[in-house]
Amino acid sequence: MKIFLSVLIFFILIIAAGGCDKGIEPEPESNAVPGQTGFSGKVTFAGTWPANVKRTHLVVFKNAIATSQDFFPPNLAFVIDSIPYRSSSFTYNSVDNNFIPMFVLTPGDYKYIVVAQSSTPALSLERKDWNIVGVYCINGDQSQPRTLTIENGKTTTGVDINVNFSAPPPQPFIDVTGLIEQFAVPQQQKLF
């Protein structure tokens, strides 16, 4: 009987350890004011569009591009719809012009917002396939990227970028390795 009681007590202690809390809890209610979280602005083009450009996007990065990895999520944070070739200007907002709907812009600071062009018909996430042609910057100095701050429930306006094909900005890190990054399949539904 002593053995039985010992085992029973041991068992109850183990189980009690697990019964002390409720596990996963819901997040507290958000204090965000109703509204759309995002940003908007206008991209203006000057000069002659380069030939062979297949894609032109406004791209938001969390931080400046310092390595090949930085052209990829999670540093790659948001992509605006492709801007038609030879446009003189393009007005956008991040809610209506989200090129990759899966990307969700969360509140925070984003330190490198650029307009980039690619000659590949399909979307590529390789740095070497892209040319930076305009930077969201301070006082028109494209070597000084300006930080975009996104607030919960608010749309940050005036995120304008001037692209001058005759005066391109400094190009950040370029890699040629073409590494593949591991990334899980975002399975939207079970197959069966």
Q: Give dist(CA 83, CA 157) in Å, integer.
A: 19
Distance CA 80, CA 95 (A): 9
Cis peptide, bond prior to residue 74, ω within 30 of zero: yes
**Member of 27, 84, 158, 176 binding another protein (CB under 8 A):** 27
Q: Is 166 in the site for another protein (CB under 8 A)?
A: no
Q: In this structure, how many other beta carbons lie within 10 angstroms of the beta carbon of residue 129? A: 18
11 binds another protein (CB under 8 A): yes
Residues near 159 by beta carbon (within 8 Å), at least 6 away in sequence: 39, 40, 41, 113, 136, 148
- The interface region with another protein, picked from 39-47, 72-80, 141-149, 153-161 by CB under 8 A, is 72-80
Considering the complex, state which of residue 59 and residue 162 has its C-beta at the smaller distance from another protein: 59
Among 31, 88, 143, 187, binds another protein (CB under 8 A): 187
> What part of residues 99-128 is at the interface with another protein (CB under 8 A)?
99-106, 108, 122-126
* Closest to 92 in 3D by CA, of 25, 44, 126, 135: 44
Q: Which is nearer to another protein, 77 or 115 (CB)?
A: 77
User: What residues line the site for another protein (CB under 8 A)?
Assistant: 3-4, 7-8, 11, 14-15, 17-19, 21-27, 29, 72-74, 76-78, 99-106, 108, 122-126, 178-192
